[in-house]
Structure formats: C-alpha cells, structure tokens
Amino acid sequence: MNRPPIAFRVRDHERPGLEVRVNFGLLTGREVTPAEIDDLASELRAIVDSFEIVAEQRHEFADAVEAAVHQVVIETASAPDEVVMEMVGAAERWAYACFDARHSDLSEL
C-alpha cells in the first residue's frame, strides 16, 4: 500500500508583511474556538481588507525547559502604523472578551 507523503520540507517560506500575535493561552488557559476566530475575523474586516488567522499550539523545547503556548496569529500585508495599532487594539479587546465570556459564568456559581 502506497502512503502519500504528509511531512515535507519547505525550502523557501514567504513571510507575511505583518504579524500580530495574541498570546491567547496565557490569558485564557485554553485554546481558541472556531466561533471565537470568526468573531475576531468580524472585528478585523472593519480594519483591513485581506488577512489570515492562524490558531497554533506551539511546543518549545530547550535544555531543561519545555513550554506549550496557545497563540492566535493574524497575518496580513504591511500596513501603516495607525492600521497596525487598530488591529492590535481589536485583537486585545477580542481576547479579553473571550476571557470574560468564560469567566463571568464562574461568578454565578
């Protein structure tokens, strides 16, 4: 049985012009949901025409250190500083809204 290759080397990787990283796991203690990504996309559409959102779980290893990080990365073409600041502000508001939505339920117990 021939199995298709699923792991491969990428020789050249074109980086996006701009990345906004949201340390989602540090704030919320969990991974982002698809519905939350949709909410972020709705916020960003008002700021920038074209973008990608990547939800990633990174595992970093060094000598005696291991870390798992849940990040949301927004990638787009280069933009003026004022647009970048709008994107960062929208991402922060979105992340805190995600946190508040889950943690406000705890106060009702």
Q: Is residue 73 part of a domain?
A: yes
For position 7, what pLDDT does the model report?
86
Which CATH number goes with the domain that contains 42?
3.30.70
Residues spanned by the domain of 60: 18-104
Q: Is residue 86 part of a domain?
A: yes
Beta bridge partners of 22: 72
DSSP type of residue 58: E
Q: Is residue 1 part of a domain?
A: no
Q: How far is CA 70 from CA 23, 59, 67, in A?
A: 6, 9, 10
Q: Is residue 6 part of a domain?
A: no
The tens place of each residue's pLDDT in the chain, 109 residues long, gives 789 888 877 777 677 889 999 999 999 999 999 999 999 999 999 999 999 999 999 998 999 999 889 999 999 999 999 999 999 999 999 999 999 988 765 545 4
Among 21, 18, 17, 16, residue whose Cα is nearest residue 71: 21
For position 1, what pLDDT does the model report?
77
Q: Is residue 35 part of a domain?
A: yes
Number of domains in the chain: 1
pTM: 0.81
